[in-house]
Structure 1
Amino acid sequence: MQSEEIRGPKAPKDPIKKRPFFFIMQGKEIFGAPQPDGRGIQFIYESDGRLINAARIAGNITDDYMLELLKTTEGFRKMVHSIGVSVSGRIKEEKVKFVFQMYGATQTDQTSTQIVMDLEMDGMEKIIKMSDVDWKESDREPGQIRFEFDTPGTQASVDVRFYLNSGFVAPIQPLESMVDFKSEGYKQMIGRSLMHMGNAGRLEKVLEKAGKGEDVTLAFIGGSITQGAGAIPIHEKSYARVFADTFEEKYANGGKVTLLKAGVGGTPSELGMVRFERDILREGNKEPDLIVIEFAVNDEGDETKGVCFESLVRKALDLPWKPAVVLLFAVFSFDWNLQDRLGPVGIRYDIPMVSVLDAVSPQFNLLPDDGRVISKNQFFYDVYHPSNLGHQIMADCLINLMDSVNGHISDISSEEKPIESILPVIGKDFENVELIDARDMIKMKSKYRISGVETGSFDGIDKELQMVEMDKEIVPVPEFPYNWYHSEKSTGVGSFKMNITCSKLLLLFKDSGNPAFGTAQVFVDGKLVMEADPLKVGWTHCNAVIIFNNEKTESHSIEIKMAEGMENKRFTILGFGVVA
């Protein structure tokens, strides 16, 4: 039987001329993280300047007026005619839902617009016109993009274009070249990351231990970059995981390499120093051989301007088994970090420091023919976080440090001074800080003479907490699950109260974007010392603030209660940081 000949149309129409456009995503890798309802979702937040940054980096937009329009839904609608989306994946027929959500008065406003489009992962672009969208009056700003999969764990790459209304002109869109990891330019770029070798004796011992076939534990503490934000999938492609895998392949001689990854998004060393024992030492069950500290892009909000960071460094250096400590300075897309503030800490204790900023930022503005190795669009996933390529480069910067140490111990090690004999360069106020929460309150009662504890209306347990992917796991776990929670359903009455003897005290509380939360007041010895507003940041995450920082250890009465008019709102005390 003769097969039917396949023919094309006899008179194909001329192609419709496309409007000028710019990318906000080009070849962006996505991963459907498992959700409680069984789906997989990739969240990409576009608020707080992220969409503007995507237009700059992925779309080559430099016009200030066009960038300004992206701040609001009104401006977005004025400029954008339509959105084009294409998704490429291993299974072309698999479905994916594209959702572009506007934010209203709050991020959780259910009345705001959601632009929805169903696609297959076949790489074909589908376009939705903004004139076909049912816009809501409550829309305030472009909020987030989601790619929703029926099957969790699905990986794909996406392009998203904004096609422009008449009167707007888009610049030529950049086409990326592949990164040559074996080129001399790449090696030189990675080499620039070694900011300070310092006394590498502790690092040499880590390498010696691995070379003997002994088990090695590698620990990382930091913010969202250490958590793996921007890496797809987050549990496999984060810089910490890539470094651990490369270390095992390159240096381990049969021993097990354990990864302790403890990054918590949006949090500074002010919180990191309090959760160090629980998240890094696992409450005394782990003794890491290497501790990488990464807070150089998170500590701008640190109210001590470096005292918390140095306290954390001293805490790590002073552990009895003397782990190697490395300071890692990540970078934001606007070529910024806090290494000028925090670098002197590394110099004072003569410990190795690695700067990703020093490696990549000098070459971003070059043309490929002039020595550019990787573009900003390739390195960054969004304004704050590296892409898979960026995470790979961060891992390579750390491996470069290990390579520089390996075999050169006689040149780069010297006898250490005891930590207590080294004067701090910024401050060490919190080097002995400990966490107290609802679970450990009884255990800490004797040490801090805790008495008169009344939970009052803070008698619940908040389970809707900041979730983070730890170690090599994809399933996130809650931070500070042993908390005190006040809600409109609380059965208890009155304030949270306790008497405690200490010199320094921090409050850990939950931020939220949910307007059901409200402000709590903190009193010390009957005097109002602060008001904690969980809505100020606008999303669910952990916050640490100093209640007092005194030289003298004294007994104090602490009271926390809802502010006037906020009694029917919610507030979560995650715990306290205490120094004797």
Structure 2
Amino acid sequence: MMNDEQLGPKAPKDPQEKRSGFYIMVDKILEATARLEGKPSQEVYLDEGRLAFNAQFVGGVKDENILELLKNCDSVHKVVHSIGVCVIGKDDVGTIDFVFQNYGKVDRYAGGTIIKLPCTKDGSEVILNLEDYEWSTDDDVVGKIAFEFENPGLTAQATVKVYLNDGYEVPEIEIDPPVEFGSTKYNSMISKSLLNIGNNKRLKAAIDKARKGEDVTIAYIGGSITQGAGAKPIHTECYAYRSYVKFKEMFGKNGGDNVHFIKAGVGGTPSELGMIRYDRDVLRDEKVKPDIVVVEFAVNDEGDETKGKCYESLVKNILSAENKPAVVLLFSVFADDFNLQERLSPVGNHYDLPMVSLSDAVVEQFKLTKEEGNIITKRQYFYDIYHPTNDGHTIMVDCLAHLFDQTAKDVCNEKDILLDIEPAIGNCFIEVHLIDKKDNAYGAVIKHGSFKETDEDLQFVEMDCNPLGTPEFPYNWMHTPESGDESFCLTVNSRSLLLIFKDSGRMDFGKADVYVDSTIVLTADPRATGWTHCNAVILYQEENSREHQVEIKMAADSQDKFFTILGFGYN
């Protein structure tokens, strides 16, 4: 199996002849992120059909045969001749290398071919000819491309074009004209995002506090879009930070130093995890009392087992705080127009909350030509299938600013929202609490058994204004191949319990069987999703609290593997 990096072609070739091709990236901003292993890099994932999707929505490819051929390595070689890479960067950025990686059939992350190609920084094209390289027999799918830098935080701009073999043709696309931010048509699009202005009493109270110079904290909780994915640099160009800055400019006093910022987005996670980590990641263990909380899970909650009960539990928990914070529900959208606004907006309607919908703002105009009224194309709005570009994040900022502006202008509601009402979907997880090595306030009895180590190879996220990653759930219990075979045992009095465990793409991670009161309820497989990620699953949910015995032990075929328990959520 061949998986060593190849640093150059077998032999130099003649210059690239004119070929039909399509873009998968056009003038995209790159930002080097620190990695636990390897050089700082910007990674672009192309597995799970994302290469074909990028060909379609960035490159304008409509030929179904070509799109189908892009879905596995064998057929990619039939249709793809070469890949052209153009990078523009300042001289002080240092060297930048383009990396092409296939994922393997047997060993997903280490079994496929990896090719590294030095880039120029003046915008001239370097070509990766597929026929110039030897390819691993384990190659399964095109996994990702990456741009490696010398140091984290450095930026550049890249365009990547895929050239086709003879016999395959695609139409050339026109590069989109710049978005006319602030134009009448643009502002009309932004106004469509206001799904519900809601009861404004709490939001106006926060605005009034800011105007008076009192301390105001605006917090954001959500998935990878709230984390800042697609924004470059991630910590200053993400919608969360920039809408906080906009709020400061609109309402802060003497430069807005009285307005404070909390950002708690975690990629790939739903409100099922968000409700558990709210106390630590937003309230900072009761040290912070936010005045405004923006909740963004509309594209993450497909993974919520309860289909909305966790979401409503989180929202109700925030609203029930003694300081009466305002809650804004934000509905982001994927490039395939997917979100869960229809499922989740009834929660906002039920409590009459402000709701902002990116779907309502941009999706319909995506379908129009410039002549018909298109403001921004999908190529401009999306960095990849899931995340906005800087332009996309700008639109999210302007949609939130429109809500803030309209709220400030409106007459204040006399009465506060009603909380003592039946739930819209369900709130059975309200006041959920975290148990881990650090926090066990309610005295659960824990015997860690062979899960006695601490895992430091965790999901890292950029919290608040910090460009560097902060580990999620660092106070964990890890089983290692050398630590024995004793079970992890938890005795807890609760009506609900969720297990949080670490997903991983590593081959040396294995499955664990989970028992509740001696009955197996789950076999947790950390390799099911294929990347380092926090995963919350419900072990039980009952009407009344009672004592339960929970046992976690390595599955029979995984005794010599790793497994990490990140924590538990209970109420």
Same fold, TM-score > 0.5, yes or no: yes
- The answer (yes or no) to whether the contact 1:469–1:477 under 8 Å persists in 2 is yes
Taking the aligned partners of 1:512 and 1:34, their CA distance within structure 2 comes to 18
Residue 541 of structure 2: which of 531, 534, 549 is its match?
549
Instruction: Give the corresponding residue for 1:284.
Output: 286
Residue 215 of structure 1 and its aligned partner are, at CA, apart by 2.3
1:335 equivalenced with 2:327 (yes/no):
no
With over 3 angstroms needed to count, the CA separation of the structure-2 counterparts of 1:414 and 1:169, relative to structure 1, is farther
Instruction: Give the corresponding residue for 1:9.
Output: none
Residue 372 of structure 1: which of 365, 371, 374 is its match?
374
Q: Which amino acid aligns with 1:67?
A: L
Q: Give the RMSD, CA atoms, in angstroms.
A: 1.6
Residue 396 of structure 2: which of 394, 397, 412 is its match?
394
String of CA shifts for 1:61-89, please: whole Å, max 9, x gaps: 11111111111111211111011000012
Instruction: Give the corresponding residue for 2:135.
Output: 135
Instruction: Give the corresponding residue for 1:164.
Output: 164
Instruction: Give the corresponding residue for 1:563.
Output: 555
Residue 508 of structure 1: which of 487, 500, 507 is its match?
500
Taking the aligned partners of 1:106 and 1:298, their CA distance within structure 2 comes to 29
- The answer (yes or no) to whether the contact 2:485–2:559 under 8 Å persists in 1 is no
Residue 209 of structure 1 and its aligned partner are, at CA, apart by 1.0
- The answer (yes or no) to whether the contact 2:515–2:552 under 8 Å persists in 1 is yes
Which shifted more, 568-577 or 114-123? Answer: 114-123
Instruction: Give the corresponding residue for 1:198.
Output: 198
1:66-85 counterparts in 2 under 5 A? Answer: 66-85=66-85
Instruction: Give the corresponding residue for 1:12.
Output: none
Structure 1 or 2, whichever has the larger Rg, is 1
Which shifted more, 303-312 or 562-571? Answer: 562-571
Residue 456 of structure 1: which of 449, 452, 458 is its match?
449
Instruction: Give the corresponding residue for 1:488.
Output: 481
With over 3 angstroms needed to count, the CA separation of the structure-2 counterparts of 1:16 and 1:569, relative to structure 1, is closer
Q: Which amino acid aligns with 1:444?
A: Y
- The answer (yes or no) to whether the contact 2:202–2:416 under 8 Å persists in 1 is no
With over 3 angstroms needed to count, the CA separation of the structure-2 counterparts of 1:282 and 1:241, relative to structure 1, is same
1:305 equivalenced with 2:307 (yes/no):
yes
SS at match of 1:246: helix
With over 3 angstroms needed to count, the CA separation of the structure-2 counterparts of 1:513 and 1:54, relative to structure 1, is same
1:52-131 counterparts in 2 under 5 A? Answer: 52-91=52-91, 94-105=94-105, 109-131=109-131
String of CA shifts for 1:206-227, please: whole Å, max 9, x gaps: 1111111222211000000000
Q: Which amino acid aligns with 1:322?
A: K
Q: Which amino acid aligns with 2:118?
A: D
Taking the aligned partners of 1:157 and 1:293, their CA distance within structure 2 comes to 31
Residue 572 of structure 1: which of 547, 558, 564 is its match?
564
1:189 equivalenced with 2:189 (yes/no):
yes
SS at match of 1:409: coil
Taking the aligned partners of 1:38 and 1:61, their CA distance within structure 2 comes to 34
1:474 equivalenced with 2:467 (yes/no):
yes
Which shifted more, 354-363 or 203-212? Answer: 203-212
Taking the aligned partners of 2:101 and 2:339, their CA distance within structure 1 comes to 30
Taking the aligned partners of 1:66 and 1:155, their CA distance within structure 2 comes to 33
Q: Which amino acid aligns with 1:473?
A: N
SS at match of 1:95: coil
Taking the aligned partners of 2:220 and 2:560, their CA distance within structure 1 comes to 40
Taking the aligned partners of 1:399 and 1:106, their CA distance within structure 2 comes to 49
Q: What count of residue pairs does the alignment treat as equivalent?
A: 556
String of CA shifts for 1:111-134, please: whole Å, max 9, x gaps: 311122101211111112110022
SS at match of 2:556: coil
- The answer (yes or no) to whether the contact 1:485–1:572 under 8 Å persists in 2 is yes
Residue 354 of structure 1: which of 356, 369, 378 is its match?
356
Taking the aligned partners of 2:447 and 2:504, their CA distance within structure 1 comes to 25
Taking the aligned partners of 1:565 and 1:342, their CA distance within structure 2 comes to 40
- The answer (yes or no) to whether the contact 2:503–2:528 under 8 Å persists in 1 is yes
Taking the aligned partners of 1:486 and 1:36, their CA distance within structure 2 comes to 20
Q: Which amino acid aligns with 2:167?
A: G
Instruction: Give the corresponding residue for 1:8.
Output: none
Q: Which amino acid aligns with 2:458?
A: L
- The answer (yes or no) to whether the contact 2:105–2:111 under 8 Å persists in 1 is no
SS at match of 1:406: helix
1:265-280 counterparts in 2 under 5 A? Answer: 265-280=267-282
1:257-272 counterparts in 2 under 5 A? Answer: 257-272=259-274
Taking the aligned partners of 1:503 and 1:189, their CA distance within structure 2 comes to 46
SS at match of 1:219: strand
1:520 equivalenced with 2:512 (yes/no):
yes
Taking the aligned partners of 2:37 and 2:112, their CA distance within structure 1 comes to 22
Q: Which amino acid aligns with 1:81?
A: H
- The answer (yes or no) to whether the contact 2:365–2:374 under 8 Å persists in 1 is yes
Taking the aligned partners of 1:203 and 1:145, their CA distance within structure 2 comes to 43
Taking the aligned partners of 1:35 and 1:512, their CA distance within structure 2 comes to 15
Instruction: Give the corresponding residue for 1:152.
Output: 152
Taking the aligned partners of 1:317 and 1:93, their CA distance within structure 2 comes to 46
Residue 400 of structure 1 and its aligned partner are, at CA, apart by 0.5
For normalisation by structure 1, the TM-score amounts to 0.93
Instruction: Give the corresponding residue for 1:6.
Output: none
Q: Which amino acid aligns with 1:460?
A: E
Residue 107 of structure 1 and its aligned partner are, at CA, apart by 6.9
Q: Which amino acid aligns with 1:83?
A: I
Q: Which amino acid aligns with 2:310?
A: C
- The answer (yes or no) to whether the contact 1:316–1:325 under 8 Å persists in 2 is yes
1:444 equivalenced with 2:438 (yes/no):
no
Instruction: Give the corresponding residue for 2:253.
Output: 253
Taking the aligned partners of 1:107 and 1:565, their CA distance within structure 2 comes to 18
Taking the aligned partners of 1:310 and 1:107, their CA distance within structure 2 comes to 40
Taking the aligned partners of 1:116 and 1:499, their CA distance within structure 2 comes to 51
1:38-57 counterparts in 2 under 5 A? Answer: 39-57=39-57
Residue 389 of structure 1 and its aligned partner are, at CA, apart by 0.5
Q: Which amino acid aligns with 1:495?
A: S
Taking the aligned partners of 1:23 and 1:112, their CA distance within structure 2 comes to 24
Q: Which amino acid aligns with 2:410?
A: H
Q: Which amino acid aligns with 2:219?
A: A
With over 3 angstroms needed to count, the CA separation of the structure-2 counterparts of 1:529 and 1:305, relative to structure 1, is same
Q: Which amino acid aligns with 2:105?
A: A
Taking the aligned partners of 2:511 and 2:116, their CA distance within structure 1 comes to 35
With over 3 angstroms needed to count, the CA separation of the structure-2 counterparts of 1:405 and 1:93, relative to structure 1, is closer
Q: Which amino acid aligns with 1:116?
A: K
- The answer (yes or no) to whether the contact 2:432–2:570 under 8 Å persists in 1 is yes
Taking the aligned partners of 2:105 and 2:428, their CA distance within structure 1 comes to 40
With over 3 angstroms needed to count, the CA separation of the structure-2 counterparts of 1:107 and 1:193, relative to structure 1, is farther
Taking the aligned partners of 1:41 and 1:247, their CA distance within structure 2 comes to 32
Instruction: Give the corresponding residue for 1:408.
Output: 410
With over 3 angstroms needed to count, the CA separation of the structure-2 counterparts of 1:92 and 1:438, relative to structure 1, is closer
Q: Which amino acid aligns with 2:330?
A: L
Instruction: Give the corresponding residue for 2:422.
Output: 423
SS at match of 2:220: strand
Taking the aligned partners of 2:458 and 2:337, their CA distance within structure 1 comes to 31
Residue 49 of structure 1 and its aligned partner are, at CA, apart by 2.1
Residue 465 of structure 1 and its aligned partner are, at CA, apart by 0.6
Taking the aligned partners of 1:206 and 1:114, their CA distance within structure 2 comes to 52
Q: Which amino acid aligns with 1:388?
A: N
Instruction: Give the corresponding residue for 1:3.
Output: none
Taking the aligned partners of 2:92 and 2:511, their CA distance within structure 1 comes to 49
Residue 106 of structure 1 and its aligned partner are, at CA, apart by 6.1
Taking the aligned partners of 1:95 and 1:198, their CA distance within structure 2 comes to 51
- The answer (yes or no) to whether the contact 1:105–1:140 under 8 Å persists in 2 is yes
Instruction: Give the corresponding residue for 2:4.
Output: none
Residue 493 of structure 1 and its aligned partner are, at CA, apart by 4.3
Residue 47 of structure 1 and its aligned partner are, at CA, apart by 1.1
- Note the residue ranges of structure 1 that are not aligned, 5 or more in a row: 1-14
Instruction: Give the corresponding residue for 2:240.
Output: 240
Which shifted more, 555-564 or 244-253? Answer: 244-253
- The answer (yes or no) to whether the contact 1:117–1:128 under 8 Å persists in 2 is yes
Q: Which amino acid aligns with 2:70?
A: L
